[in-house]
Every structure is written in structure tokens, then in C-alpha cells.
Structure 1
Amino acid sequence: MNDEFLKLRKQFPLLKNYPNLIYFDNGATTLKPNTVINAEINYLKNISTNPHSTDYKIGYKALEVLNNTREIVKKFINANKTSEIVFTSGTTQSINMIAKGLVNLINKDDEILITSLEHSSNLVPWIWLKQKTNAVIKNLELNDEFGIDINKLDQIITSKTKIVSFAHMSNTTGYTNDVKK
């Protein structure tokens, strides 16, 4: 490992405790660097109230923190508006919400495209949607490095394709799919 990578790993207490750990299961739980842990501790010690109950002063502070966080995330992901930012408990809840929100828009034989290497958080919701709607799940072809074969996308995407869902970076192989293409 190079020095820059080792310096980055030192920011994560869990990786200090388990120096040989390679962790890709971020869809379930993301490891937190010290800056995040310290911010969470500060929030829990000093603010930890309902941001939607502004009947008291500290509730306003919680709402301010929430709104500021939305603004930071908006800029980080280049969203247009803070109203586009939704906080959930993780990938599993997020994709479940999307699948359940699409249940009345997906029809029999509509296609859902995923890969054979998806984390369960990006598999189970689509299986549920398939069962509810009689849609069809198809697997995107993978290349020799276990990433999506971008050159074959045009062949598999059809007019019946309604959902294409895959991990940007695989939690099983570490492969980073070129999402820009």
C-alpha cells in the first residue's frame, strides 16, 4: 500500500483495529472516519432533538443542522435543489422505497436490468417488484474483470426496459463500473 492510502486508512478507527481488513459492504454499513464520528458525537451530545419539532430553541438548531447538511450534500452530488436530497438509513431502505414507489408504474413483461453480483440491497427490492408486477429481471453481461460490459448495453436495453440498477463499485469484486458511459 502506498503512503497516501495508508494515511487515508488511519482516519478510520475500525481499520486501525483491523489493519488487514478490506471492506466493501458499504451498501449495508459504511465505515466512518474520525471526522464523522466526532460530528455524530457532537450532535448526540449537544443537539439530538427532532428537527421537525421547532417548538423549542434546540429544535431550531437541529433543523438548521439538517438543512445545512442537505445543502452540503446537494453541492457534493451536484443536485439542483435541496428538496432532491432524502436521507434514509442506508441503501437497503433507499432502494426499497424506490421499488415500492414504482409498483404502479411497472407492467407485466417490463424489464429490470441488474448484474449477477449485486448486493442484496439492490437485488431483493427488484425481486419483490417482479413478483408484484410480473416484470422480468435480466442480468447485464459482465466483462472479464466482473464489471458491466458497456459494449453490450445497447443489445440488452429495449423499449421494455424500465429500470437499470447496478452498483457503481462492486462490494464483492471492488470493480468500479464506468457510469459515465
Structure 2
Amino acid sequence: MLDIQHIRKDFPILNRIVNGKPLIYFDNAATSQTPQHVIDVIVDYYSNYNANIHRGVHSLSQEATDAYEQARIKIQKHFNAKESHEIIFTSGTTDSINLVANGFSSLLKREDEIIVSALEHHSNIVPWQMLCERTGASLKVIPMNENGELMLSAFDALLNDSTKLVFVNHISNALGTINPIEYIIEKAHKVGAAVLVDGAQSCPHIKPDVQALDVDFYVCSAHKLCGPTGVGMLYGKEDWLNKLPPYQGGGEMIAEVSFEKTTYASLPHKFEAGTPNICGGIAFGVAIDYMNSIGFDNIAKYEHELLEYATEQLQKIEGLKIYGTAKEKTSVISFNVGNIHPYDIGTILDKMGIAVRTGHHCAQPIMDFYNIPGTVRASFMFYNTKKEIDTFIVALKKAVMMLS
């Protein structure tokens, strides 16, 4: 059992008063909060060994380089990548996806096809549309059903010898649906297609094993994992990373430069041009340590309790409709109440100190499927409590009464 009150003491922001009320933070699917230990590491970096990495012979540079590369190894071990150079530091999930999409520009032909799912965040749709515009390849979509689940029979029908890439999120940010990525990866590989999994929403709740999944690319962001914003990672199988050309040119990613020809560095530096977010990378590794100290099995069990409890309480509110009722889902609930606009509900909840997300959640095709402008989304982490949910329910009922 988790000692939730002890855990909450690790997060200073949870002591905040917002609009005269104690903060209840239910916008974790957008950004999780940061524990004091990670904050201390950020302060320590800038206070004691702030320096550029890899290129310096002085002590500060060596200390920063060691800490940064140790963070890479921590991330490698967490995701069970075979080699540390298969972990590429990026600015986040979106940057990671664009890196891969840009690389495939030179590998795809006009007759090729790529597949995305109807449950994707815009960051796992738009880069592939841009790739198709550049190459002439065709974009196919795995449809979803009313429960917010992918229709796997339709996916099977889409697969053929022309399929070169498949992109799917592990968990939907808008609905909380956990997608059957094992099935998708296995089927895609049978036709010779590579698979990229967007793990931005899964990594706070699940500990993926990229080797067991046999996934070709897996991406995530630190700020969903109790880490800082502006840093994330791309895992790629070594063979694929060697095939892709560099995403950006500049310092660090080169072996030799002349005005006649430039040769590129080996992995991972080939994809890490310029001065990276050094402090962010180090803090990312520490955030991974923190999450593992709590234990992902413990996290999953407790968050499932929060999901079930909140769902049960919300269903008692007249006129409330939950979108995303998949059998397998994580601690995200998207809902509307009657004809009340979600923005109005979110605004009133904020006045009562409760932070939720409203809108289309960068997943507009999902909202179009349900023919709605957006939803109210409450998303929970292991530092939330049932007492907070109770307060949220009371506030929501008050908001509905005011807006009806």
C-alpha cells in the first residue's frame, strides 16, 4: 500500500492555495507535478556544475557529461533498451515523432502507405500528414468505436505489402484507452512495417519493456513522468536509427566537417545536434528513479482505484456522459454534462481551486467522432486522493447547478 500522505509531502505545489481554496490538481495528463527531489537536482546543477558537455576537458564539463550520460543509462534500463545509444534525448514526444517522420522522408515512395489510429494526439497525426505531403505516400486510419477502442479487424484489413509504417499511442490522452500495442506491433511486423508507439500518456502509469514489445520506436516526455518540461526521449532500434538521416545539423552530431563534405557522428550523437537540455536530461533520470522508488505496480493499482471511484461518483450526476469506456483504460475521465459547454464547467471549477483540462485535448478527430466541441477531462496521478475526488464531485455539482 502506498503512503499517499507521505508521497504528497514530496510535491510542494500541492500545498498551494488557488482562488482561496487548496489546490486539487486533476490535469496530470497534460503535465504531472514535480517532486522536491527533482527540483533540488535542477537547482544543484545550475548552482554547482553548469557547463557544456562532451567537449570540455575541465572538471565542470566532465561532471555534467557524466551526470547526463548516467541519465541516459537510467532511461535505457528503465525501458529495457538493448543499448544506451538507442536512447536519443529530445525536447519531448513531439520532437521525437518529428525526428522519425523527417528521417523517413528519404525512405518512403509514392506507392507506400502509412497507418495511424483514430485515437491519436495531433502530434502523432500532423507529422505523418506532412510526411505524406513530402513523399506522396498515403495515410490510412484505424477507426474507433463508441467505447473509444480501436477496431482491430479494420486494422487487419488496412495492412498490406505497401504498409511501411504504423503509428499508435499506447494510451489515449483524451479517453484513457489502453491500446493493444502488442497485437498491433506483431501484425505490422508480419507485413514488414515499422511501428512507432507514442508513450507520452502510458509512461506515467506503465513501465514499458521495448525489447519485449519488439517495438521499433517508442517516445515519451519527462514532464508526464514527474520530470521537467522541455526534455524527452526517442527509443529506436539501432538498425533503424542507423538507417535514418540526421534530423538537424550542427555541433555534436558530426564526425568531421570540411567545406567539401561532412561526416556524421555515431549514435546517439548523430541525432543530438547543438547544446542539449543538459539539466533537463539529468533531472529526467532522477524523475525515473523517483517513480521507480514508488513502484509502477503500486502506482497502477492505486490509480485504478481512483479511476473506479471517480467513475462511480460521476455516473451519479444526472445528465453526465463519460466518453471513453474501454475495458482497458487508465486514470483519465473525459465527460460532459448535458448541453453545458466544458469550458464553462472548467472555469467554475478553477474558481474552487480545482484544475481540470477542457477542450479537444489536441485530439480533435476524437471529438469530431462524438460530434462534440470538447470535454472536461479529469486525470489522476498517484499523489491524488479519494478525498480530493469527493471535493471535486461537490464542486462539479455546484457548477452544473449554476450553469443549468
1:48 aligns with 2:53: no
Q: Indicate the SS of the match to 1:93.
A: helix
Deviation of 1:147 (Å): 2.9
Q: Indicate the SS of the match to 2:164.
A: strand
Which residue in 2 is equivalent to 1:83?
Answer: 85
Q: Indicate the SS of the match to 2:72.
A: helix
Query: Within 5 A, what are the aligned runs for 1:22-171?
Result: 22-25=27-30, 31-171=33-173
Deviation of 1:56 (Å): 0.9
Give the Cα separation in 2 of the matches to 1:67 and 1:36.
17
Deviation of 1:38 (Å): 2.6
| TM-score, length basis structure 1 | 0.84
Contact 1:168 1:177 in 2 (8 A): yes
CA RMSD of aligned residues (A): 2.4
Give the Cα separation in 1 of the matches to 2:120 and 2:27.
18
Give the Cα separation in 1 of the matches to 2:3 and 2:136.
46
Contact 1:24 1:170 in 2 (8 A): no
Q: State the identity as a percent.
A: 31
Give the Cα separation in 2 of the matches to 1:114 and 1:30.
26
- After superposition, the Cα gap between the structure-2 partners of 1:36 and 1:177, relative to the gap in structure 1 and judged at 3 Å, is farther
> Aligned partner of 2:174: which letter?
T
Give the Cα separation in 1 of the matches to 2:163 and 2:143.
15
- After superposition, the Cα gap between the structure-2 partners of 1:143 and 1:47, relative to the gap in structure 1 and judged at 3 Å, is farther
Q: Indicate the SS of the match to 1:86.
A: strand
> Aligned partner of 1:65: which letter?
A
Q: Which moved more, 1:16-25 or 1:61-70?
A: 16-25
Q: Indicate the SS of the match to 1:53.
A: coil
Give the Cα separation in 1 of the matches to 2:96 and 2:29.
18
Give the Cα separation in 2 of the matches to 1:40 and 1:15.
19
Structure whose alpha-carbon radius of gyration is higher? 2
Give the Cα separation in 2 of the matches to 1:13 and 1:82.
33
Q: Which moved more, 1:89-98 or 1:136-145?
A: 136-145
Deviation of 1:163 (Å): 1.2
Give the Cα separation in 1 of the matches to 2:122 and 2:6.
28
> Aligned partner of 2:82: which letter?
N
Structure 1: 5+ residue stretches without partners: none
Which residue in 1 is equivalent to 2:26?
Answer: 21
Deviation of 1:148 (Å): 2.3
Give the Cα separation in 2 of the matches to 1:146 and 1:16.
35
Structure 2: 5+ residue stretches without partners: 17-22, 184-404
Give the Cα separation in 2 of the matches to 1:8 and 1:142.
40
Hey, which of these two has a bigger chunk of strand by percent? Answer: 2
Contact 2:144 2:151 in 1 (8 A): yes
Q: Which moved more, 1:79-88 or 1:43-52?
A: 43-52
Give the Cα separation in 2 of the matches to 1:23 and 1:133.
37
- After superposition, the Cα gap between the structure-2 partners of 1:65 and 1:14, relative to the gap in structure 1 and judged at 3 Å, is same
Q: Indicate the SS of the match to 1:64.
A: helix
Number of aligned positions between the proteins = 176
Q: Indicate the SS of the match to 1:166.
A: strand
